[in-house]
Amino acid sequence: MMLRRFGRVAVLPVVWVVWSWSGVVAAAGLPDFSELVVRNGPAVVNISTEQRAEAEQAALPKLPFELPDGSDAAPLNEFFRRFFGDQPEPPLPDASLGSGFIISADGYVLTNHHVVDGADAIIVRLSDRSELSAKLVGSDARSDIALLKVEAKNGRLPTVTIGDPRRLKVGEWVLAIGSPFGFDHSVTAGIVSAKGRALPQDTYVPFIQTDVAINPGNSGGPLFNMDGQVVGINSQIYSRTGGFMGLSFAVPIDVAMEVVEQLKAHGSVTRGWLGVMIQDVTRDLAESFGMSQPRGALVARVLPDGPAAKAGLQAGDVIVGFNGEDIVYSSDLPPRVGRTAVGRTVTVDVLRGGKPRALRLTVAALPDQPQAAANTPAQAPPRADRLGLLVADLSAEQRDKAEVTGGVSVQRVEPGPALEAGLQRGDIILSVNSVEVKDAAQFERLVGRLPAGKAARLLVQRGEAPLWLALRVPD
């Protein structure tokens, strides 16, 4: 450690600043978490896992005493290889570390799916340093929740109290207990930064965002409110360095407990499904649909034979309500649909052409592999248009692979409205202002009729996903 000396003039202001800040902290009346930790700490556990790596076959080295193939002793080469050159490497265990908490006195423990995923052995260590072997009851990757079961020696274990995350307020104090980097029962505190956050690849969880310091090893640990109730499970962080940067995300405990009930009953989780692909409504898209302001979930594609298709939903519909609840952002829809019981009939409120409609549909079970469309760039000669696009017709084979009946393939994007709107080479343009595109010639006519200075919308297919894009034709 390097120590640096300071003169008297430099030290005095520093001491004064520290003293002044201490007075401010004392006067502010910041919360004391000590009682909460004493009361709930014993129910928080450290979770370690072990996964056996596959034995790797060692490369066959050239033996220094290898005998010529033509000699009478050549068969001894195989003998030497068996003992010296053809031995597999011993398998090495792959260990991981995380946190969890006990939700019932008979030994049910909650943690993250990614903490125990692929584990051959799971060990739960209690606050008194005793260790229990855990059995995996079930795990759900979509919500990142896993349920474990341990057998208590005395029949009863300390438990946490489950709270209601819906009553959390942004700015409210919260506290985490876990094992970051293996430091058992570390306590960190912060505030609720936001609620209902949607993260990429985690559309079925409305995360609680906090600024509580979370690091590797905290995963699966509890997030407490000031009443000592668990309101979330610390799951992941946003970081550019791999360490904490002030953005932590927890799975709301009510979402987790719904998963727990299904895991107990069935060992797996089913979710509601509409059969649509959606996106956010931007300001320009809202204008093109005749909406006064952006809101709702814009339907980019309706999957065939799904609940939405059977109910009559169409690409271009904007879902603004689901089962009596407003849909403000597109991220509001998936968790509400996912938590709806399979087989239940609900009302979906949509805007179609700027006019409201109410549709009734029956929610189905989310399939393991939702339908997706593939895209192959076309090879036909490209055509130019006023948007700065070069497009081409799709071949019959390309349409079959993309599962489309029309559309044109974007061959090149030049500087202009299309480039500014975000179109890319390889996109398939399916419609212009909700008019289906049949071929390149018709697309050119549609583009030629677009009014200057007005927002127009294009439905494109990019890779496996549809996407609405808005652009403005210059005057």
**130 and 175 together in one domain:** no
Residue 260 lies in a domain: yes
How many separate domains does the chain show?
Answer: 4
pLDDT in tens, 170-182: 999 999 999 998 8
For residue 129, the SS3 value is coil
**CA angle, 130 then 131 then 133, to 5°:** 155
Domain end among 209, 231, 266: 266
Asked if 169 and 194 count as a contact pair (C-beta separation under 8 A), the reply is no
44 contacts: CB under 8 Å, gap ≥ 6: 99, 100, 101, 127, 160, 177, 178, 185, 221, 222
* Distance (Å, whole) CA 219 – CA 214: 8
- The amino acid at 405: T
Q: Is the pTM of this model over 0.75?
A: no
**277 and 355 together in one domain:** yes
Asked if 78 and 134 count as a contact pair (C-beta separation under 8 A), the reply is no
pLDDT for position 71 = 52
Asked if 117 and 139 count as a contact pair (C-beta separation under 8 A), the reply is yes
**298 and 360 together in one domain:** yes
Element housing 337 (H / E) = helix 333-338
Instruction: For tokens 């076309």, name the residue.
Output: 378
* Distance (Å, whole) CA 69 – CA 54: 34
Catalytic residues: 114, 144, 219
Give the DSSP letter of residue 444.
H
**197 and 229 together in one domain:** yes
**174 and 253 together in one domain:** yes
Residue 107 lies in a domain: yes
Give the DSSP letter of residue 242.
S
Domain end among 202, 233, 266: 266
pLDDT for position 274 = 94
pLDDT for position 78 = 55
114 contacts: CB under 8 Å, gap ≥ 6: 144, 219
Residue 467 lies in a domain: yes
Residue 112 lies in a domain: yes
Instruction: List the chain residues with pLDDT less than 50.
Output: 1-27, 55-65, 79-80, 82-84, 86, 92, 369-384
Handedness of CA 67, 69, 70, 71 (dihedral sign): positive
Give the CATH number of the domain where residue 332 resides.
2.30.42.10
**43 and 142 together in one domain:** yes
Residue 377 lies in a domain: no
Residue 222 lies in a domain: yes
Structural tokens at position 296: 């709702």
Give the CATH number of the domain where residue 191 resides.
2.40.10.10
pLDDT for position 447 = 85
Residue 375 lies in a domain: no
Domain extent, residue 406, equals 383-472
Domain end among 365, 397, 412: 365
**304 and 339 together in one domain:** yes
* Distance (Å, whole) CA 168 – CA 177: 18
For residue 407, the SS3 value is coil
- Bridge-based pairing state of the strands 428-432 and 455-462: antiparallel
Residue 63 lies in a domain: no
* Distance (Å, whole) CA 285 – CA 131: 57
